[in-house]
Amino acid sequence: MTFTIAENKIIKEKLLSKKLFGMAGNKAGRDMIEILDGLHETINYGDSLGVRMYHNVEYEDYPEHWHTGIEIIMPLTLDYTIIVGGKRYHLGRGDIIIINSGVLHALEAPPAGERIILQFDSLLLYNLKGMETLLSLLPEIIIFTEKSEPELYPYVYQRMKKIIREYDEKKTFCEIVIYAALLEIFVKLGRDFTDRAMESGETADRARQKEYLETIMRACNHINAHYQENITLEETAAVCGFSKFHFTRIFKQYMDMTFYEYLNAKRVKCAEGLLYSTQMSVTDIALNSGFSSLSAFNRTFKSVNDCSPSEFRNKRVAELANCK
């Protein structure tokens, strides 16, 4: 199920007419990446509710970078190449790739061609109970082709068409409709992920696997709700009804990180938001993010971002100044 010639023509005309995005494609090879600090791209969503879409027709490559937003790419004509972890993933016409938040990637463009590139702020999804856990369970990238995912591909493809149409028509509440379509996509992916995880084992083990997955969801929801408090591994294991050692093993197995790595990642993400949007002192931010001391906060923050909290804030201030 790929775009028909007629659909491609309609999409191209609408996008290039500036009705859809207020732009007719990017002029320079790196105009799509407006703010790049080292490898970190800050996505400028403009006046939209955390959604940005491009009809990209560039023939230049985009260097290795990452961003907190989630990115969806779908070629309309010809191929497109995404590089993640040194591996090249080639998308054909109509194929779809989802690049999760924080994933380092680069883009290689052919001499010609067109593709839709959608970026959206994942923080808007995190406010929904269970959504942050769902996104944590998903892999770094997900690729959909009609051949490799005959059931999932039509589902995602139809919602991408809906998103494009909503941008075109700009009806009242169009951004809400767009996020509703994105929610449908990610809920479908989450359910498919858990179903496949349970089906991968023997029939006798599926009940246990289902129990483990539900335990991990419950644990992550508990962390997301109480990360600002002094929660512990023992406490969370007890909430889930498991011993400390059993819980430690299955959490690592399903999340590919330890309990404390997940907890600290959540706390650092909270701190980043406070550094970006408030004038609170670094010490107050550390305490409001759940860290027991300033030294622990500085050490953990630097291990994640390769800079101190103060340096992170100064970079953000400079980025905002450049946007004005």
Residue 204, pLDDT > 50, answer no
User: Hunting for tokens 């690729």 — which residue is that?
Assistant: 143
158 — pLDDT class (breaks 50, 70, 90): very high
Domain boundary among 195, 210, 238: 195
Note whether 35 and 128 are same-domain residues. yes
Tell me, what's the pLDDT at 138? 79
pTM, full prediction: 0.64
Q: Which residue has the higher pLDDT, 110 or 214?
A: 110
Domain count, the chain: 3
> What CATH number is attached to the domain comprising 89?
2.60.120.280
For 2-11, 63-72, 164-173, which range has the lowest pLDDT when averaged over its residues? 2-11
Contact of 174 with 48, CB cutoff 8 Å: no
Task: Look at residues 292, 233, 228, 221 and name the one whose alpha carbon lies nearest to residue 261.
Answer: 233
Q: Which residue has the higher pLDDT, 127 or 237?
A: 237
Q: Tokens standing for 8?
A: 């491609």
Note whether 59 and 106 are same-domain residues. yes
Domain residue limits at 248: 201-256
CA distances from 71 to 66, 102, 245, 293 (A): 10, 10, 37, 35
Note whether 185 and 235 are same-domain residues. no
Note whether 239 and 281 are same-domain residues. no
Residue 65, pLDDT > 50, answer yes
The Cα–Cα gap between 189 and 196 comes to: 10
DSSP for 84-142, please give it.
ETTEEEEE-TT-EEEE-TT--EEEE--SS-EEEEEEE-THHHHTSTTHHHHHHHS-SEE
Tell me, what's the pLDDT at 25? 37
Domain boundary among 174, 195, 216: 195
Domain boundary among 233, 256, 279: 256
Tell me which amino acid residue 285 is.
Answer: I
Note whether 58 and 124 are same-domain residues. yes
Note whether 222 and 123 are same-domain residues. no
Which positions ≥6 away from 314 have C-beta within 8 Å? none
Note whether 206 and 287 are same-domain residues. no
Residue 18, pLDDT > 60, answer no
> What CATH number is attached to the domain comprising 289?
1.10.10.60
Which positions ≥6 away from 162 have C-beta within 8 Å? 177, 181
Note whether 183 and 115 are same-domain residues. yes
Note whether 77 and 139 are same-domain residues. yes
Tell me, what's the pLDDT at 205? 64
DSSP single-letter state for residue 218: H
Q: Which residue has the higher pLDDT, 74 or 172?
A: 74
Note whether 206 and 171 are same-domain residues. no
Average pLDDT for 155-167: 92
Average pLDDT for 256-282: 89
Tell me, what's the pLDDT at 29? 39
Note whether 244 and 138 are same-domain residues. no
134 — pLDDT class (breaks 50, 70, 90): confident
Q: Which residue has the higher pLDDT, 197 or 236?
A: 236
For 103-107, 108-112, 130-134, 265-269, which range has the lowest pLDDT when averaged over its residues? 130-134
Note whether 154 and 20 are same-domain residues. yes
Residue 22, pLDDT > 70, answer no
Q: Angle of helix 244-255 relative to helix 203-226, nearest 10 degrees?
A: 90
Residue 211, pLDDT > 50, answer yes
Average pLDDT for 252-264: 89
